[in-house]
Chains A and B, each alone.
Chain A
Amino acid sequence: MDATYTFLQHYWWLLVSLLGALLVFLLFVQGGQSLLFTIGKNQKQQKMLLNSTGRKWEFTFTTLVTFGGAFFASFPLFYSTSFGGAYWVWILILLCFVLQAVSYEYQAKHGNLLGKKTYQIFLLINGILGPVLLGAAVGTFFNGANFVVEKQNLTNLANPVISSWTSAWRGVEAAFVIWNVLLGLAVLFLSRVLALLYFVNNINDDEIQKKSRKQLIIETVLFLVFFLTFFVHLLIQDGFAVNPDTGEVYKETCKYLHNFLQMPAVLAVLLLGVVGVLFGIGKTILSAAWKKGIWFAGTGTVLTVLALLLCAGWNNTAYYPSLQNIQHSLTISNSCSSLFTLKTMAYVSILIPLVLAYIVYAWRALDIHKITGKEMEENEHTY
């Protein structure tokens, strides 16, 4: 196969993985929502929490949208197969994000029809369900899903659908696979850990600081239990390998372990990420005055998730295995866009550093001023 084409497939898998990794980091907004009533014991505290992580909700949302768009543009067969197949999982994810989009703005407004509490419960639902569902959906990248892809079906005039789902549960069946659930829970508790670190960094309030640091220990333990169980199993489980010459997919024992060993750079990214996460959490717990944990744990999260997703798609691996017919599994080469489109989109991707730069600039300009009780009382725009 054309070397440029192969390169671009890997490049786009990298970009999609990077977006996915950023999305997991930005789920700290969801984590914050899920902790709203755990950390916030009165209305004023809850208001500060909402205005801390809440003012970043558009970033998480936009990253989700862009992740979808980029996946569509670079690997359209995944878009058509998974979204149209695992229908209810994706619809559930959409619904809980719709609830989030309106709730920040509406909960603080007069005449909001359902009452403040309802919108805060919407935020809670999104805060828990969002990370769990997204995590479980990513779990299927390693554990497979129930679909078949028959491109020739298009010539069947009565039923021309190319991708079909083979489970009547339409995606919900992924919840019956314990390893998917474990990843979902790991993502949930990671998002809560990150939210606590962000509260520590962003809110100038002694009580919230103290409570966040205390809660951090519990959430970290839960995160580590779920994540390590998932991860150890990942290393020893059968993976879905592809023969690059024939495109044939076959099971390989310890495939993901092999991937890390055969791609030392990815392994290095993984280890660096894990160290970042642990350092960010550890130092925050040990040093009562230190507030920079979110940046270490956040960067660490991006690197770790990036490495995991690269492990799912690179090194001749099928990133979306079909449990129904292993030969129908999606790989980065059989599900991608044409050479022309990948190339065109690669030019567009040159803009990404610019986008990241202005995000960082605007984020810093706002975050220099920490959230305080006083700001909440002033008659300015707040949630």
Chain B
Amino acid sequence: MIAEIDISLIDWSRAQFALTAFYHWLFVPLTLGLGIIQAVMETIYYKTGDEFWKKTAKFWMKLFGINFAIGVATGLILEFEFGTNWSNYSWFVGDIFGAPLAIEGVVAFFMEATFIAVMFFGWNKVSKGFHLASTWLTIVGATMSAFWILVANGWMQYPTGMNFNPDVVRNEMESFWKVAFSPVALNKFIHTVLSGWVIGAMFVAGISSWYLLKKREIKFALSSIKVAVVFGLIACFFSIWTGDGSASQVAEKQPMKLAAMEGLYEGGEGVNLVGVGILNPGKEEYNDDKDAFLFKIDVPIPKLLSYLSFGKFNAYIPGIKNILDGGYPLKDGNVALSAKEKIEKGKIAVSALADYHKAKADSILYERKADSIKIALTAEINNCETAISEGDTIISQIVTADELFANKKAEITDKIADSRRLLFENFDYFGYGYIKEPKDLIPPVALTFYAFRVMIILGSFLLLLFALSTYLVYKNKFETKRWLQWICLISIFFAIFAGQAGWVVAEVGRQPWAIQDILPTSAAVSNLSTAAVQLTFFIFLALFTILLIAELKIMINAIKKGPQINEQ
């Protein structure tokens, strides 16, 4: 038994989850993107009857299959890790969080599992139409599963549609639609799936470019690129579009994350968007006077951050220091509380919950005691045969006892009501009760800041690359542009990197919260020894890494072998 949850347990538990999520997101986006591309190719085959497109689709499906299993495996671990490593979390919000996970299983995973078998093994066993439908249903299933898990993730960033039930000490769902269709969840789903499509498109364009560089499989490569670049261009454009949407949601719901993304300590009205910059590693405290940056260049459009966040060039954006110090005007007209005040209120809420439970337990205890005393007195009066005066004394005793109990009961009932009221008055800050000091509310600024830059810069670069490639492909000039083929090949890694960076912004940027403002990671963990979590971490690390290397080797082998289409 551990007397106190220590920091290293929280950090290692986070590391274990991050590791699994990191590996999961190496494989899943490729599944999402490649799934659509191969389905489009098979549709062309279905419409034209051209065997070339069947073979092309089948080649990409082969790579899809190599990639698929390990995404499934890491996904299983993620689901169970909520229970194994985040036990308190599972109870505290399981009533809301479990639902999307169950729905994911029932409506999405089974669809994926059923039709992927037909897609792989059914070519000569079912009709062309049934096969095509299966290919589409596989990717529809995969995409629906992304929807439900992102609903779950969106809810953690922006909890909504629930109520706290102090009797069972957990949050309970009050509106399914608010949870499933919260704007944050929808935006997150679209942005994330589109980023997967970008990665899939880049993968197909990059591998095809490799064939062009090798002067092999020319027709196959050019045909694949034609599908991929258009798809990638559209996906990339809308991914950036929805990215802006998620930034403005962050500004509203998670101001601390936005401040970290921008390295913004001292906010104000009409804030610029940082283009590139190097943070000052010498800045040790959020409230010291040192400059946050060694060097930075803002995006040349002035006041852009304010505009992107709130649609107004002069909108006020709080920095890290402002958020912790409070005192600035909020959108709803109130004045922001300081971190200290929030922590104070959080502690009031937590101790009110304790008082509530104590009062409820007392109430049961008194009730029992009162009952037993009354029974004893009644028994005495029934046995009382001696003097009437004695009986009268007992009766008066009962009356006094009744009064006493009534008073006591009223007192306890008041206590229950008072603590309940106090709890709910302060519940918005419940999670802050577990925060030791204000600076614990700051996420790792450097990691969030740089990851955000990496995502935006790579995303913009990919948009340009897709646009240029589309233009050249349809002008029939792509085949001769070897430099561009090299860039396409290398950009597979850029696309994957951009996706990972996006998740770092989303997840590191919301620390210390497991559920925004309601439950910090320190109150969400399981009661495990740090050593056990460390051991699991390294087992997973070794296993995933070996499997990743094996996957890459198999994939490279299959690519080298090529689609083996007889081209005339």
Give A contacts to B, CB under 8 Å: 55-56, 58-59, 61-62, 64-70, 72-74, 76-77, 79-85, 87-88, 90-91, 94-95, 97-98, 101-102, 104-106, 109-114, 151-152, 154-155, 157-166, 170, 337-338, 340-341, 344-345, 348-349, 351-352, 355, 358-359, 362-363, 365-366, 368-369, 380-381
In the complex, whether B134 has a CB less than 8 A from a CB of chain A is yes
In the complex, whether B115 has a CB less than 8 A from a CB of chain A is yes
Q: How far does the alpha carbon of A155 sit from the alpha carbon of B346 in the complex, in Å?
A: 11
- Contact code string B17-57 (vs A, CB < 8 Å = 1, else 0): 00000000000000000000000000000000000000000
Q: A94-B76, A102-B73, A111-B554 are in contact. List 8 more A-B contacts (CB 8 A).
A: A58-B117, A77-B91, A79-B90, A163-B91, A345-B99, A349-B106, A362-B118, A366-B122
Closest-CB distance, A140 to chain B (whole angstroms) = 15
Closest-CB distance, A57 to chain B (whole angstroms) = 9
In the complex, whether B301 has a CB less than 8 A from a CB of chain A is no
Q: How far does the alpha carbon of A77 sit from the alpha carbon of B79 in the complex, in Å?
A: 15
In the complex, whether B98 has a CB less than 8 A from a CB of chain A is yes
- Nearest-CB residue, chain B, relative to A89: B84
Q: How far does the alpha carbon of A77 sit from the alpha carbon of B174 in the complex, in Å?
A: 19
Closest-CB distance, B149 to chain A (whole angstroms) = 10
Complex contact A90–B168 (CB within 8 A): no
In the complex, whether B382 has a CB less than 8 A from a CB of chain A is no
Q: How far does the alpha carbon of A337 sit from the alpha carbon of B165 in the complex, in Å?
A: 12
Query: What are the residues of chain B within 8 A of A72 when measuring CB–CB?
Result: 79, 82-83, 90, 94, 97-98, 101-102
In the complex, whether B116 has a CB less than 8 A from a CB of chain A is yes
Complex contact A84–B532 (CB within 8 A): no
- How many residues of chain B are within 8 Å of chain A by beta carbon? 99
Closest-CB distance, A134 to chain B (whole angstroms) = 13
Q: How far does the alpha carbon of A65 sit from the alpha carbon of B105 in the complex, in Å?
A: 7
In the complex, whether B386 has a CB less than 8 A from a CB of chain A is no
Within 8 A of A (CB), among B62-92: 62, 65-66, 68-70, 72-77, 79-80, 82-92
Q: Contact check: which of B5, B101, B354 meets A159 at CB < 8 Å?
A: B5
Complex contact A341–B87 (CB within 8 A): no
Complex contact A380–B124 (CB within 8 A): yes
In the complex, whether B3 has a CB less than 8 A from a CB of chain A is yes
- Nearest-CB residue, chain B, relative to A61: B72
- In the assembled complex, 7 residue pairs joining A and B whose CB atoms fall closer than 8 Å, in A order, are A70-B102, A80-B88, A157-B350, A165-B527, A338-B173, A366-B118, A380-B124
Query: What are the residues of chain B within 8 A of A76 when measuring CB–CB?
Result: 90-91, 94-95, 98, 170
Q: A61-B113, A65-B105 are in contact. Are A161 and B82 (CB under 8 A)?
A: no
Complex contact A164–B527 (CB within 8 A): yes
Q: Contact check: which of A59, A84, A341 meets B528 at CB < 8 Å?
A: A84
Q: A362-B115, A381-B120 are in contact. Are A160 and B528 (CB under 8 A)?
A: no
Complex contact B525–A161 (CB within 8 A): yes
In the complex, whether B109 has a CB less than 8 A from a CB of chain A is yes
Complex contact A161–B526 (CB within 8 A): yes
- Nearest-CB residue, chain A, relative to B555: A111
Complex contact A80–B87 (CB within 8 A): yes
Q: How far does the alpha carbon of A64 sit from the alpha carbon of B2 in the complex, in Å?
A: 32
Closest-CB distance, A281 to chain B (whole angstroms) = 27
- Nearest-CB residue, chain A, relative to B89: A80
- Nearest-CB residue, chain A, relative to B169: A151
Query: What are the residues of chain B within 8 A of A79 when measuring CB–CB?
Result: 82-83, 90-91, 94, 98
Query: What are the residues of chain B within 8 A of A365 when measuring CB–CB?
Result: 118, 122, 125-126, 130
Q: How far does the alpha carbon of A341 sit from the alpha carbon of B117 in the complex, in Å?
A: 33
In the complex, whether B299 has a CB less than 8 A from a CB of chain A is no
Q: How far does the alpha carbon of A365 sit from the alpha carbon of B134 in the complex, in Å?
A: 12
Complex contact A355–B98 (CB within 8 A): no
Complex contact A112–B550 (CB within 8 A): yes
In the complex, whether B357 has a CB less than 8 A from a CB of chain A is yes
Q: Contact check: which of A81, A97, A337, A380 meets B87 at CB < 8 Å?
A: A81
Q: How far does the alpha carbon of A105 sit from the alpha carbon of B261 in the complex, in Å?
A: 41
Q: How far does the alpha carbon of A157 sit from the alpha carbon of B2 in the complex, in Å?
A: 13
Complex contact B557–A110 (CB within 8 A): yes
- Nearest-CB residue, chain B, relative to A365: B126
Complex contact B105–A90 (CB within 8 A): no
Complex contact A84–B434 (CB within 8 A): no
- Nearest-CB residue, chain A, relative to B357: A152
In the complex, whether B353 has a CB less than 8 A from a CB of chain A is yes
Q: Contact check: which of A55, A83, A104 meets B80 at CB < 8 Å?
A: A83
In the complex, whether B399 has a CB less than 8 A from a CB of chain A is no
Q: How far does the alpha carbon of A193 sit from the alpha carbon of B115 in the complex, in Å?
A: 27
Q: Contact check: which of A55, A102, A154 meets B92 at CB < 8 Å?
A: A154
Complex contact A98–B73 (CB within 8 A): yes
Complex contact B523–A65 (CB within 8 A): no
Complex contact B118–A80 (CB within 8 A): no
Complex contact B90–A152 (CB within 8 A): no
Query: What are the residues of chain B within 8 A of A109 when measuring CB–CB?
Result: 66, 554, 557-558
Max count, chain B CB within 10 A of own CB: residue among A95, A152, A160, A352: A160
Complex contact A73–B102 (CB within 8 A): yes
In the complex, whether B384 has a CB less than 8 A from a CB of chain A is no
- Nearest-CB residue, chain B, relative to A88: B532
Q: Contact check: which of A68, A98, A381 meets B65 at CB < 8 Å?
A: A381
Q: Contact check: which of B84, B110, B115 meets A90 at CB < 8 Å?
A: B84
Query: What are the residues of chain A within 8 A of B283 when measuring CB–CB?
Result: none
- Nearest-CB residue, chain A, relative to B68: A105
Closest-CB distance, A68 to chain B (whole angstroms) = 6
Query: What are the residues of chain A within 8 A of B126 when measuring CB–CB?
Result: 365-366
Complex contact B546–A114 (CB within 8 A): yes
In the complex, whether B1 has a CB less than 8 A from a CB of chain A is yes
Complex contact B106–A97 (CB within 8 A): no
In the complex, whether B517 has a CB less than 8 A from a CB of chain A is no
Closest-CB distance, B4 to chain A (whole angstroms) = 5
Q: Contact check: which of B61, B98, B110, B130 meets A359 at CB < 8 Å?
A: B110
- Nearest-CB residue, chain B, relative to A166: B1
Q: How far does the alpha carbon of A191 sit from the alpha carbon of B484 in the complex, in Å?
A: 54
Closest-CB distance, A138 to chain B (whole angstroms) = 16
Complex contact A112–B554 (CB within 8 A): yes
